């Protein structure tokens, strides 16, 4: 399961990216910004690209993969 390594919502706010900026710049949709603030990692590749741009980071700096029991079961089916 993918998880954020840190509170990405707080990091976005520290660089001045909020709902207003999301609306006016179009870099992240308001829905994506809500997902990020709720620690939901189910975002599109386009949103991930924008997130990397805004935070000046690589995807590996933002996400970590932690294998869950469900992931292990899925892996057995492969």
Q: For residue 11, give the CATH number of its domain.
A: 1.10.260
| Alpha-carbon 4 to chain mean position | 7
How many domains does the chain fold into? 1
pLDDT over threshold 90, residue 77: yes
Q: Which domain covers residue 9, as residue numbers? A: 2-76
d(CA 33, CA 74) in angstroms, rounded, equals: 29
pLDDT over threshold 90, residue 23: no
Q: What percentage of residues in the chain have a pLDDT greater than 90?
A: 91
pTM across the whole model: 0.86
Dihedral angle of Cα 46, 50, 52, 54, to the nearest 10 degrees:
-170
* For residues 49-70, average pLDDT: 96
* For residues 37-46, average pLDDT: 96
């Amino acid at each position: 399961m993918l998880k954020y390594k840190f509170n990405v919502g707080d990091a976005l706010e520290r660089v001045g990216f909020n709902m207003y900026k999301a609306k006016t710049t179009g870099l992240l949709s308001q829905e994506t910004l809500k997902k990020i603030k709720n620690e939901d990692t189910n975002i599109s590749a386009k949103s991930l690209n924008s997130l990397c741009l805004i935070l000046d980071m690589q995807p590996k700096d933002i996400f970590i993969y932690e294998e869950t029991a469900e992931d292990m079961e899925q892996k057995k089916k492969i």
